[in-house]
Structure 1
Amino acid sequence: MLDLPPGDIIAVLAVGLGASLLVGLPGAAALRIARRRTITVHVTVLLTITVLAVLAGVVGAAQAMFLSAHDRDVVLLVVAGSGTVSLGVGWWLGGRLARDAVWADQLRQRERQAEANRRELVAWVSHDLRTPLAGLRAMAEALEDGVVADPATTAEYHRRIRVEADRMTQLVDDLFELSRINAGALRLSLRPVPLAEVVSDALASAAPLARARGIRLVAAEFGWPAVVASEPELARIVGNLLRNAVRFTPHDGMVQITAGRDGNRAWLAVADTCGGIPDADLPRVFEVAFRGEPARSPTGADAPARPSSGPVGGGLGLAIVRGLVEAHGGRVEVTNAGAGCRFLVHLHAAG
């Protein structure tokens, strides 16, 4: 129990409350002004108001002669010291809270973006599966019902069924590769790989589609460095870039692939004559399921007629390229250059 007369208790409480109100009311206004500021500012203002309220109470009690000069000075020193420490700790905690809030907001944004990408990917894949499946079913029913009887048409239907099956296999492979990249399950066996050999194989693979579209494939004759990479994944990077360039290049266009070395870094460039990419779309080129404007999609005016075109894509090829390049510790970028765009891959050079 307090060893004070009731009158003194009431007087002390009145002085303390009065002093707190004198500081608290302007402090409430300051907090209202600071509500749109950072968390650090908000916490610092709150602690400052608290410390000032205590100081005002001590000064008020001293003025009312409830404290001696000695006791007043001792209490003021204690409050000043603890207040300084409190403000320092509050500023530090406010900074931590602000950083945590920013991190949490970024995490929520990434989660929302990932969910949006997932929904978009499911929509694209559903569309790309539905189209070949419908064609497969129609051709299978025609063969089963005997609607198609002559050997030439029957052989053509069998060829188309095989092509559509290959397209769907490619899509499934892309999905599996992308899931490995996103899950962090990609295991690379890094070793020196001659880039010339990988590019030669990729050119041979892309040549039939390029011929069908009347597109010239041009490769540098020399200057091919060796890179530190996993050969299967490197082959996929080069193959995806070449197929992407061929798909979006109009008839009589050209796709050129070059490479070189800059210190301990090697680079590979694939340039086409697709007409360029809108500046607003450049940052999104490597996003999952992004295809850009309809004129540049595989179903645009310059695309080969389905089902005899090349492998189907769900907008995954360039997303896989970025994931594989970054898994190698490199980077990939795209710019508009000349009559088209240029994809540039940077990797660690061997030797």
Structure 2
Amino acid sequence: MNLLKIIAVTAGLGTLVAAAGLAIMWRLRGRSIGVMMAVVAAVAVVATLAGVVAITLRMLIEGEARDLVLSVVAVGGLVGLGVAFILGRRVVAASRRLVDAVRTPGDFTAPQGLPAELQTIANTLEESFARERALEGARRELVAWVSHDLRTPLAGMRAMAEALEDGVVTDRETVLRYHTQIRLEVERLSGLVDDLFELSRIHAGALRLSRSRIGLADLVADTMAGAEALARAKGVRLSAEAGEVVPVEADAGALGRALRNLVVNAIRHTPTDGTVLLRAAVHVGMACLSVADCCGGIPEADLPRVFEVAFTGESARTPTGEGGAGLGLAIAQGIVEAHQGLIGVVNEGPGCRFEIRLPLS
């Protein structure tokens, strides 16, 4: 019976102390984590002390033994509170170090020696800041690059329009040539705007695919037909190899655009009398589309950066005056990755080979 009384008294006092502790924590919910930890430690210690003191005074121990028990319990409670205080200060100090590091202007470097959870947060923040800096740098390069790519044709069109308007050019042949050039530049700028819009959708994760079962041989045939005029004008031979039927679940329009971007890029960088070869095949359980050219190869240091937006290295395979603003490869990569596929490039033979790998249907 005494055991039941002890349990009942201890449980009752513990419940009261816990309720009071929860009420205090609710009122202090906006305060430092150190204060919250101190409240938790105090609740645990006070609940234990209350039970021991109540039982000691009322039921079990008298005289010198009671004083000894109360002294031991008091010392234990003070030790517990002291440990909780030290731990709370350490957590608060670590939190402040993390906050100061985040608020420091410039590059964020994760402070070391933090508790495991805070260290994980710090490392994650460091990675996020690094990605944000890389994206911001790419964004600035893209804006500068596109601004240059827009300024050049606009200046040319303005000069031709002013010449026509002022009557500087009057002979029919020159006037017709100016009109044709203005139309071509407008088409080029329109294509650039379309590329930027597509790239923004890819980066925003807003690219919506309408998947259906398609054959890669048909995709290759359509791409060949669309690029034939450009290849003929450049004097480049365009050929294809598509053996067995290779079915995939894909958006025919989007995937066709990715493949067309690779083919157009290959044609523009292949010299006259060179060859661009398209292949469709199955390799290691995946559908493969490859575009091989005769561009002379890409420097090894530039291979990992070929698909970067606004990569302006001297050896970059990005179109210049002949075509768009060099966004085609980045768009192709975004479309392929949206299909859960892989895209890459290697130097091979007289040029390089771009390859798209997609899951089979």
Note whether the superposition's TM-score is higher than 0.5: yes
- Say how many residue pairs are matched: 271
Q: Where in structure 2 are the equivalents of 1:297-336 lying within 5 Å?
A: 298-299=319-320, 309=322, 312-336=323-347
Aligned to 1:98: 119
Other structure's SS at 2:347 match: strand
Other structure's SS at 2:214 match: strand
Q: Distance in 1 between matches of 2:283 and 2:232?
A: 33
The 3 A distance-change label for structure 1 pair 295 and 226 is: closer
| 2:183 aligned with 1:162 | yes
Residue identity in the other structure for 1:118: R
Aligned to 1:225: 246
Q: Structure 1 residue 106: deviation in Å? A: 0.8
CA contact (8 A) 1:240 1:317 kept: yes
Which stretches of structure 1, 4 residues or more, deviate above 3 A after TM superposition?
294-299
CA contact (8 A) 2:265 2:319 kept: no
The 3 A distance-change label for structure 1 pair 102 and 215 is: same
The 3 A distance-change label for structure 1 pair 267 and 247 is: same
Residue identity in the other structure for 1:238: L
Q: Distance in 1 between matches of 2:244 and 2:180?
A: 40
Deviations 1:274-329, CA, capped at 9 Å, x for gaps = 11111111111111011432585545xxxxxx5xx4xx322211111111111111
The 3 A distance-change label for structure 1 pair 252 and 295 is: farther
Deviations 1:107-136, CA, capped at 9 Å, x for gaps = 001100111011000011001111111111
CA contact (8 A) 1:285 1:292 kept: no
Q: Distance in 2 between matches of 1:334 and 1:342?
A: 6
Aligned to 2:282: 261
CA contact (8 A) 1:121 1:314 kept: no
TM (norm. structure 1) is 0.69
Residue identity in the other structure for 1:315: G
| 2:260 aligned with 1:249 | no
Other structure's SS at 1:281 match: helix
Aligned to 1:125: 146
The 3 A distance-change label for structure 1 pair 115 and 141 is: same
Q: Distance in 2 between matches of 1:321 and 1:297?
A: 13
Q: Structure 1 residue 176: deviation in Å? A: 0.3
CA contact (8 A) 2:279 2:290 kept: yes
Q: Distance in 1 between matches of 2:242 and 2:210?
A: 28
Residue identity in the other structure for 2:359: H
Q: Distance in 2 between matches of 1:287 and 1:141?
A: 38
Unaligned 5+ residue runs, structure 2? Answer: 1-67, 92-112
TM (norm. structure 2) is 0.67
Residue identity in the other structure for 1:272: D
Residue identity in the other structure for 2:268: R
Q: Where in structure 2 are the equivalents of 1:56-75 lying within 5 Å?
A: none
Other structure's SS at 1:287 match: coil
| 2:311 aligned with 1:290 | yes
Q: Structure 1 residue 224: deviation in Å? A: 5.0
Residue identity in the other structure for 1:223: E
Aligned to 2:257: 236
| 2:212 aligned with 1:212 | no
Identity %: 55
Residue identity in the other structure for 1:133: L
The 3 A distance-change label for structure 1 pair 296 and 262 is: closer
Q: Distance in 2 between matches of 1:174 and 1:224?
A: 31
Say which of 209, 219, 244 aligns to 1:188.
Answer: 209
Q: Distance in 2 between matches of 1:298 and 1:182?
A: 21
Residue identity in the other structure for 1:323: G
Other structure's SS at 2:201 match: helix
Aligned to 1:349: 360
Q: Distance in 2 between matches of 1:194 and 1:330?
A: 16
Q: Structure 1 residue 264: deviation in Å? A: 4.6
Other structure's SS at 2:244 match: coil
Other structure's SS at 2:300 match: coil
Deviations 1:32-77, CA, capped at 9 Å, x for gaps = xxxxxxxxxxxxxxxxxxxxxxxxxxxxxxxxxxx99x969x96xx
Q: Where in structure 2 are the equivalents of 1:39-78 lying within 5 Å?
A: none
The 3 A distance-change label for structure 1 pair 336 and 233 is: same
Unaligned 5+ residue runs, structure 1? Answer: 1-66, 300-305
Q: Distance in 1 between matches of 2:209 and 2:276?
A: 29
Q: Distance in 2 between matches of 1:168 and 1:185?
A: 23
Aligned to 2:171: 150
Q: Distance in 1 between matches of 2:247 and 2:169?
A: 53
Q: Structure 1 residue 348: deviation in Å? A: 1.9
Say which of 128, 131, 136 aligns to 1:115.
Answer: 136
Other structure's SS at 2:226 match: helix
The 3 A distance-change label for structure 1 pair 318 and 295 is: closer
CA contact (8 A) 1:285 1:291 kept: no
Residue identity in the other structure for 1:98: Q
